Amino acid sequence: MKIAILPGDGIGPEIMAQAVKVLNVLGEQFEMETADVGGAGYAAHGHPLPPATLALAKSADAVLFGAVGDFKYDTLERSLRPEQAILGLRRELALFANLRPAILYPELAGASTLKPEVVSGLDILIIRELTGDIYFGKPRGVRECPDGPFKGEREGFDTMRYAETEIRRIAHVAFQAAQKRSKRVTSVDKANVLETFQFWRDIVTDVHKEYPDIELDHMYVDNAAMQLVRAPKKFDVMVTGNMFGDILSDCAAMLTGSIGMLPSASLDASNKGLYEPSHGSAPDIAGKGIANPLATILSAAMMLRFSLNKVEQADRIENAVKKVLAQGLRTADIFEAGTTKVGTEEMGNAVVKSLG
Ligand code: IPM
Ligand code: MN
């Protein structure tokens, strides 16, 4: 089995090194190949998603991705910015289903900004459509405003759109995920204002007919944002479009107090996938050896579970992480009084040790 290892920028290489270490001690025969991506891709090959990196990602059974982005690339033209790497991989590999779990580990209840009773036991799964919507819709750009009070001025514009197939397939992913959980799906839209999302609601409602065992409700995105902070445990599986999912998943992640803990999976129709931590490249702490590697290690576990069919190994890693937390080991982002502060490498080593 071949795994493409794409560490990227900022803390990416540091956290990836820990995940690779964990994969190496499982006793499995993985072929791991590393390539530059993001700012690192631009620096070495002149493009954030160099052709060789894309070819490797396409040929691999799964991709483990670190993070991309750094202040020093912010002034590049859009097509060369590090973010284009992840957007390009999603598009080129057709990774339309993004699974973003937000789980509160009991040991970390104190790390949330919300009251412990509001978040304790939190376990939600946000399913974000990842290759459509206003992120990829065309046309887009800056043009002369064609009409209305600002006619003749320059205007920026993007296109929000969803094809029926795109909505159907993500709805199936959500209902099937719910069948393995508490059998409830909340579809989040803006059907009161947007044509695209009235259509979304109609199609999700239609797909639901195939899943009589699942309870479906619909919620407007503004209300969903409010409910996520007010009573997040009411949710189980949430399914939504690309942009709403981007925003709501950051919000949900922070309910757990620790975006440094959360993995994610981006899957295509055959469950080939790209796995990455939910957090970014954190260039401000890069190279300091203090970043939390657990989201990347847990992403490797998700990869074993969903793409490589190594469910027992995935369980082993997840249990090792729980054990390390129970031992009181904490990186700086989740540190509280009474626990033991460790660096990136020590945390990785502790997980390796707990694997037995
Ligand atoms: C994410 C990120 C990306 C997104 C950026 C880096 C393009 O915020 O994965 O949530 O907006 O999808
Ligand atoms: Mn985001």
What b/e readout covers 227-247, taking b as 16+ CB neighbours within 10 angstroms? bbeeebeebbbbbbbbbbbbe
Tokens of 334: 């989740």
Q: What is the pLDDT of residues 216-268, one digit of tens each?
A: 999 999 999 999 999 999 999 999 999 999 999 999 998 988 888 999 999 99
User: Ligand 1: does its nearest atom lie under 6 Å from the Cβ of 134?
Assistant: no
pLDDT tens per residue, range 53-97: 999 999 999 999 999 999 999 999 999 999 999 999 999 999 999
Judged by its nearest atom, the ligand closest to the C-alpha of residue 83 is 1
Sketch out the chain's domains with CATH numbers: 1-108+258-356 (3.40.718.10)
Question: Other C-beta atoms within 10 Å of 356: how many?
Answer: 9
- The average pLDDT across 9-16 equals 98
Catalytic: 2? no
Q: What is the chain's Cα-based Rg?
A: 20
CB atoms within 10 A of CB 157: 11
Is the previous residue joined to 139 through a cis bond, with omega within 30 degrees of 0? yes
343-354 residue pLDDT tens:
999 999 999 999
Q: Is 333 a catalytic residue?
A: no
Distance of CA 253 to the CA centre of its chain: 10
Pocket test for ligand 1, best of 89, 246, 249, 281 (most atoms within 8 A of CB): 246
Q: What angle is formed at CA 263 by the lines to CA 261 and CA 267, rounded to 5 degrees? A: 175
pLDDT digits (tens, 9 = 90+) for 288-338: 999 999 999 999 999 999 999 999 999 999 999 999 999 999 999 999 889
Counting ligands in written order, the one closest to the CA of 242 is 1
Determine if ligand 1 sits within 6 Å of the CB of residue 246.
yes
The average pLDDT across 6-25 equals: 98
What single-letter DSSP state applies at residue 159?
Answer: -
Residue-wise pLDDT tens digits, 97-121: 999 999 999 888 888 889 989 999 9
Q: Is 133 a catalytic residue?
A: no
73 is catalytic: no
3-state secondary structure of 44: helix
Which one, of 220, 228, 215, 234, lies nearest residue 254 by Cα?
Answer: 228
Binding-site residues for substrate: 90, 100, 128, 222
